Amino acid sequence: MLNGPDLLPNGLHVLAPSPGRRGFRNFSNAPVFLADPRLGRVERDFEIYGGYWFISDRIKATVEGVDPDGFASLQCRVQQRDGSEGSVRWLCDIVRVLDAVDEENSLVQFGTADDGSKFYRFHGIARFRSDAVGTAHIFRFKYLESTWACDEKLRRACIEAELTGLRFKDLSRPKR
146-160 pLDDT tens trace: 788 899 999 999 999
- The dihedral through the CA atoms of 124, 174, 153, 160 has a sign that is positive
Q: What is the largest CA-CA distance in the chain?
A: 56
Strands (E), 44-129: 46-49, 52-56, 71-80, 89-94, 97-98, 108-112, 118-122
More confident residue, 27 or 175: 27
Instruction: Average the pLDDT over 163-174 and give the result.
Output: 75
Instruction: Report H helices in 39-174.
Output: 57-66, 130-133, 152-160
86-141 pLDDT tens trace: 889 999 999 999 988 887 777 677 777 777 777 777 666 678 889 999 999 999 88
Rounded Cα distance between 122 and 102, Å, is: 12
More confident residue, 170 or 22: 22
